[in-house]
């Protein structure tokens, strides 16, 4: 592991995993709505949300998915990693106050292209709320001086 840049591609092996957890707050939802422009009443209006199948407000799916980005940037492979792609399957709602645990696991290495495929799973109270896969470009010792 490179202290400044997380794990280099040379340090990674299939099966390695890491988790990052974040509690989704009211402030997160309001700020995400403002930053993204997604002001869907499902997220910001409790009275409206009570009339839906979810019977209450839910967090934005992309806000929840952003916890995956934190796991990649902060844990595995870590700082310096470039996010190239992500697919997501939204399985269950996340509500204000829920703690999302994003786990990333090395699925496959492509050293010749300096790419890593990761499985990505978000859970709340051990229930899968999002799953998918990411493709990232970690740092490499070969690309750094001495």
> Could you tell me where the DSSP H helices lie in the chain?
26-36, 41-44, 46-49, 61-74
Strands in 115-124's sheet, in edge-to-edge order, are: 17-23, 99-110, 115-124, 127-137, 82-90
**Within-domain flag for 40:** yes
**Within-domain flag for 3:** no
pLDDT digits (tens, 9 = 90+) for 93-136: 999 999 999 999 999 999 999 999 999 999 999 999 999 999 99
Q: What's the half-sphere exposure (Cβ side, CA atoms, 13 Å) at 140?
A: 12
**Within-domain flag for 42:** yes
Mean pLDDT for the stretch of residues 6-19: 96
pLDDT digits (tens, 9 = 90+) for 46-89: 999 999 999 999 999 999 999 999 999 999 999 999 999 999 99
Lookup: tokens for 124: 């709340």
How far is C-alpha 12 from the geometric centre of its chain's CA atoms?
19
The pLDDT assigned to 6 comes to 83
**Within-domain flag for 4:** no
CATH number at residue 66: 3.10.129.10
Whole-model pTM over 0.95: no
The pLDDT assigned to 146 comes to 55
The pLDDT assigned to 3 comes to 57
**Within-domain flag for 1:** no
Q: Label residue 44 by pLDDT band (50, 70, 90).
A: very high
Residue 117: which of 134, 131, 102, 103 has the closest Cα?
134
**Within-domain flag for 2:** no
Say how many domains are in the chain: 1
Q: Residues near 17 by Cβ (< 8 Å), separated by ≥ 6?
A: 76, 103, 104, 105, 106
The pLDDT assigned to 142 comes to 85
Say if strands 115-124 and 82-90 run parallel, antiparallel, or are unpaired.
Answer: unpaired
């Amino acid at each position: 592991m490179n202290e400044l840049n997380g794990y280099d591609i040379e340090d990674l092996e299939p099966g390695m995993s890491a988790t990052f957890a974040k509690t989704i707050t009211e402030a997160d939802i309001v700020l995400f709505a403002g930053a993204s422009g997604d002001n869907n009443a499902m997220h910001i209006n409790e009275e409206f949300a009570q009339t839906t199948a979810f019977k209450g407000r839910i967090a934005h799916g992309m806000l929840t998915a952003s916890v995956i980005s934190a796991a990649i940037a902060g844990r595995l492979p870590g700082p310096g990693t470039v996010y190239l792609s992500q697919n997501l399957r939204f399985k269950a709602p996340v509500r204000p106050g829920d703690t999302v645990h994003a786990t990333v696991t090395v699925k496959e290495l492509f050293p010749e292209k300096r790419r890593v495929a990761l499985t990505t799973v978000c859970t709340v109270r051990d229930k899968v709320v999002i799953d998918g896969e990411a493709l990232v470009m970690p740092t490499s010792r070969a690309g750094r001086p001495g």
